[in-house]
Structure 1
Amino acid sequence: MMWIQNNKTGHVWCVSEEHGSRLLKNEDFILFDEPKSDLNDLTVPELKKLAKERGLNNYSGLKQEELIKLLSGE
């Protein structure tokens, strides 16, 4: 799995290596490398904001640990 960011929209999401390789051939997408340890430093509201920015769904009722797993692609 890898993180990809759309340069036009700013959305970031986790995709398979195969899908990511195809997306990276398009100049609108870049590899987004996010250290997982940084997520542990964020509060629940900050994690929810990040989930919203990434276009993720069904995160509103999640606890901190669950949000971190969702955001890290686990």
Structure 2
Amino acid sequence: MNRVVLFWLAFILTRPFGATFGDFLIKPHDKGGLGLQNGTQIASGILLAVLIVCIVIEYAKPKSLIRSTDTAAA
């Protein structure tokens, strides 16, 4: 996963998806939600865990050797 994809994944999880997921957790049962008292804290914790897992996976992968592009003039 490259850094651009990781950025957009983090953005999507923390902005539109995070807001929708948080609303779903705290809405009452009669309005289609789960009715949790501390839904926003739970949603924040779950999304934080997902982001941490993505970052750990990214940095745990073996990195290929990066070629040096030395363009120093002699």
TM range (shorter): under 0.3
Give the structure, 1 or 2, with the largest relative contact order (CA under 8 Å, sep 6 or more): 1
Structure with greater helix share of residues:
2
Structure with greater strand share of residues:
1
| TM norm structure 1 | 0.25
